[in-house]
Each structure stands twice: as C-alpha cells, then as structure tokens.
Chains A and B, each alone.
Chain A
Amino acid sequence: MSAVIDSGHAHDEQAHGPYGGIMRWVTTTNHKDIGTLYLWFSFTMFLVGGVLALAIRAELFRPGLQFWHPEFFNQLTTMHGLIMVFGAIMPAFVGFANWQVPMMIGAPDMAFARLNNWSFWMLPVAATLLVGSFFVPGGATAAGWTIYAPLSTQMGPGMDLAIFALHIMGASSIMGSINIITTILNMRAPGMTLIRMPLFVWTWLITAYLLIAVMPVLAGAITMLLTDRHFGTSFFNAAGGGDPVMFQHIFWFFGHPEVYIMILPGFGIISQVIPAFSRKPLFGYSSMVYATASIAVLSFIVWAHHMFTVGMPTAGILFFMYATVLIAVPTGVKVFNWLTTMWRGSMSFETPMLFAVGFIFVFTMGGFTGLILAIMPIDIQLQDTYYVVAHFHYVLVAGSLFSLFAGFYFWVPKWTGRMYDEKLGKWHFWLSMIFFNVTFFPMHFLGLAGMPRRIPDYALQFAGFNEIASIGAFGFGLSQILFLWIALKVTVLGQGERAGQRPWDGADTLEWTHLPSPAPYHSFHEQPVLG
C-alpha cells in the first residue's frame, strides 16, 4: 500500500509529495496514507488476536489442562474478542473508508485531515494499553469481551487498562465518524447526488451515525465501571443499591448496534464487488439503501435478546424476540438483491468475487443461526454454549473478515497500481473457506450437545469435534500468513503485473473511471464533472 507515492505529482503546482521516512506516517494528513496506516494497524491486531485464538484452540485440542492456567485462558478469550472487535475489524473498515470514500465521491481528501491523523494515532496507544495489560499484576482482563459486572468490578489493574483503551478507541471511532459524515455530506462532486452514491459510501454514512450514537453509550458504561471500581459508586453493585443487570442492558444497547457497525460496511463492499464481477448494475439499489437504514434503526430495539436467560418479564422476552426476528427481513432483502444481481450476469470469479460469493454463502448461514438463537425457548438451551460461538464467528469471520478480504483484492490494484497474485489469492480464498468451516461448523454440534463457552477444559464427549476445530483453526491461521505474503508482495515489494486504470471491466465508480492506477497521492484536485 505504500506504493501509492507518486513523486511525479510532487511537481504539480498545487500538490506536494509526502515527507520522507517515518515522519511521512506520523505527520500525514493524506487520506490514502491514513487509510494505509489503519489497514496495517488492523492487520497487525488481527494477527495478535489470531495468535490468542490459536492459544485458545491449542488448549482445547484435548480435554484436560495442557498449556494454560484457567485464569490465563479466560484472559485469552477476553482479549481475543476485544482485540478482534476494536483493534482489527473496526479499524480495518475505517481504513477502507479513508481510502475509498473520498475517491468514490470525487472529493480531494477527508473533510478534517488533521483530525483524521489524530483519530488514527490514538489507536496504537490504545492497542499498547490493551496488549500491555497482559503484563500487569493479575494479567489482562478476564471478564469476557462483554466485561459484565460484577466480574469486571473485581478484576485487577488489567481491567483499568482495558477501560482506558476502550475509551481511547471509542473517541477515535467517534472522531473518525464525524469526519466520514462531514466528508460525505459536504464534499461530494457536483452531480454526485445522494441517490448516485456508491453503496459502500451509503453503508459507511449510516454506520458512522450508528457509531456516534452508541460509542458514547459504551463510554458511559465503562466510566460507571471505573467509578464503581475506584471511586466508591455502586452503579452495578447490588449491595450499594445498584444493579449488575443494568450493566448488561447498557452494554448491549451499545453492543447490538456494534454488531451492525461491524457488518454494514462489509455489506457495502460486497455491494460493490458483486455488480463489478457480474457486469450488471446492482439489483435494487434503492432497496439496498433503505434496507441498510432499516437495519440500523432496528438494531437499537433488539439488544435484550442477548439477555434472555438473565431474567425478564415474559412481555419483554416476546418483544425482543419478535423485533429480532423482524430484523431478518431487511437483511434477507439484501441477500436477495445480491443473488438477483448475479442472476444472468456475465460472471467471472477472480479472488474478490470468490470472497464475495463465499461471504453470501457463509454469512447467510450465520444469519440463520442468529434467527434460531432469537427464538427464546431455543436460546435458553443454547445460551453461552459453543453454538453461540459458532454463530457469531460465522457472522464476523465469514461476514466482516471475508468482506474485508474481498475489498482488499478488489481495490488493491487501484491503491498500488499492481495486480495481486491471482493464483495465490485463490489459494487464500479456498484455504480460508475450507479451514473456516472446519473450525467453526463443528462448534454448532458442540453447542447443541451442551459444551459451554469460555472454558479451558471440557467433558470427554466433546473431544472429537474440538480436535477437528483446533486443526481447522491452525489451518485458518496459517492461511492468513499466505495473505500477509500476498499483501506484502503487491504493496511493499511492488511485485505483480501493472494494473490498468480499470482492471475490472464491470467496476464503474469514480475511482475506476476517473483516476489512474495507482491513484495519485492527491486525487480530485479539480472536482470531476459527472454527467
């Protein structure tokens, strides 16, 4: 991705090239540089979170305790979740927004360039706090990524570091969202009306509003946690008149929209890739916009389906159950539109399309298990089992991560001016797809058989499927090393065929039709004129 420097452009009267060396990255206000930083940061965190996942799967390969103390195992599951959600997936989508949103709407850069720099550089600080918390007395937080009280009020200083890290990441997300919204609403090229915006831009606009709405809720929850821990308040302490269940309500009022924050930009990427490789316009463009808005609104009224076993009046349970089932309607509309876009299209299956089709196939399975879990009587059985673990990995790995891979392979020719290695890309897809399913499909069976999540040891009858899952996990992890090599080759080493301005003939958004490959360091100095 660093291959985007276009020194020729430095001679341009109105343009200047980047600083050389490390200062380029520290001081940059360029949306492409900051996008690159976000993407490398998130990939680094993805590898860190992945190593934690492999540590988990190594322990679970056999029943009994092999490698880790149970306390440390809990730290592994907690930190894996926190790092993947806040350090890997969310920043990766912001990286895509930084690179793509200005180019797709014909803007020269993001609206608040310095804020953009700050939004990014807060993240390594937060990541250091989070990962560093392993080394403080008592280790990292082990309360689960949901940091439920009262467990989280009793943890050691690792919990405080996690709270500060979440505060910083939340501030970064809010600033990033303000930037994205302002850019989209104010900096579109003349003629780029809202109804002509690419779906990726639409999904990010809606996601940014979601982020601004819910990140402060999380900040509130963890601030109350902090004051409960250190300043004598009793928000979540029943002995002091508080209520630990209130934490769960507040957390999930953030947490459920958060789920959609992690998938809506992915929907946007898939909605760019599928039409490009089907050589047809997206079917039901306006439906897609409306469905995204609908999902966003509904995401605020389903949070307590995460809490069916906590205790709630029957009327409350029924309400959240019905609302949750109804959210499948707009999601189903999206899947229908993608399939219909492909229908009778002139399709080809380069790596981005493989990941996009794989996304639809596997994400839909995750969606269906979500529907199953939404049915309260079933959820009572499956709460906190591996069925839930399987469900959300189908949504987050096969959903968010596969869409990120699709987006990377789709846009990297524009970013670097080089084509990635197609053969290795296809290997990456098939290995990821197969090992993903080997890892997570057996977890459905484990969950149905009653294996609880977040445990380092398990009863003997679960041994077989755990063995398969662990083998799959290591295969999946190694497949991502292949991705690292593919990414290094095309971005850092600059290997690969030269990419034309429009290497995908079906792609018709502004970055393909108006900008050369690689996109110049400063693009759209002059606003493009749209017919």
Chain B
Amino acid sequence: MAGEQTPKSASPLQLAKAVFWSFLGIRRRAAHESDVTQLKPAQVIIAGLVGAAIFVLSLVLLVKFIVSRAA
C-alpha cells in the first residue's frame, strides 16, 4: 500500500457516518480524505456489511409494516 503514514484510529461515529454517506453515494472531499487516512480497510468492510444488514433489515421492517396494514 502506498500510505505509509500511521493512521489515527477513527471513532465508531466517524465510521458510521462514512458508511451512511457511501450508501447515498455522496461525500465531501475533506471528509473523504480524512476517511481514507483514518479508516482501516477491515473496519470499512465490516462497517459496510453491518450497514448493508441494517439497510436490509430496515427495508424488511418497512415492508412488514406495510403488508400488516394491508391485511
């Protein structure tokens, strides 16, 4: 990897924010730059999977709510 600098560890909130914005597909450049220097790939992948699971679960809950109202 090209980045030799030792990354500062990111707070869980920063990780969650990065993943949230990535799902929307929008990110400020400054925030993106700090993401890349501070977040470790393994953290991002795990947070991304958790984010995907939360996304799927919330969709499932929404669907269940709608279906139960219709019944």
Contact = CB atoms under 8 A, between A and B. Distances in A.
Contacts of B21: 290
A289 B70 CA distance: 40
Contact of B25 (A195, A319, A329): A329
A191 B5 CA distance: 11
A298 B2 CA distance: 29
A319 B52 CA distance: 14
Contacts of B62: 322
B25 A287 contact: yes
Interface in A279-311: 284-287, 289-291, 293-295, 297-298, 300-301
A119 B63 CA distance: 44
A192 B2 contact: yes
A330 B29 contact: no
Interface in B21-54: 21-29, 31-33, 36, 48, 52
B24 A322 contact: no
Interface string A454-497: 00000000000000000000000000000000000000000000
B25 A294 contact: yes
Contacts of B36: 193-195
B10 interface: no
Task: Give the size range of A's interface with the partner.
Answer: 20 to 34
A188 B64 contact: no
A330 B25 contact: yes
Nearest to B67: A315
A294 B59 contact: no
Nearest to B49: A297
Given A315-B67, A322-B59, A297 B23 contact: yes
Contacts of B25: 287, 290-291, 294-295, 329-330, 333-334
Of B26, B32, B33, most buried by chain A (CB within 10 Å of CB) is B26
A510 interface: no
Task: Give the size range of B's interface with the partner.
Answer: 20 to 34
A286 B27 contact: yes
B59 A290 contact: no
A301 B56 contact: yes
B59 A319 contact: yes
Contacts of B48: 293, 297
A189 B36 CA distance: 17
A294 B22 CA distance: 6
Contacts of A238: none
A287 B48 CA distance: 16
Contacts of B13: none
A192 B4 CA distance: 11
A193 B24 contact: no
Given A186-B1, A193-B2, A315-B60, 8 more contacts: A190-B2, A192-B2, A194-B36, A195-B32, A287-B25, A287-B27, A323-B56, A329-B25
25 contacts: A185-B1, A191-B2, A193-B3, A194-B2, A194-B3, A195-B33, A195-B36, A284-B26, A286-B28, A287-B26, A287-B27, A289-B27, A290-B25, A293-B48, A300-B52, A301-B55, A301-B56, A319-B63, A322-B62, A322-B63, A323-B56, A323-B59, A330-B24, A330-B25, A334-B25
Interface of B: 1-3, 21-29, 31-33, 36, 48, 52, 55-56, 59-60, 62-64, 66-67, 70
The 10 A-B residue pairs with the shortest CB-CB distance in the complex, in nearest-first order: A291-B25, A330-B25, A286-B32, A333-B25, A290-B22, A318-B63, A286-B27, A195-B36, A294-B25, A290-B27
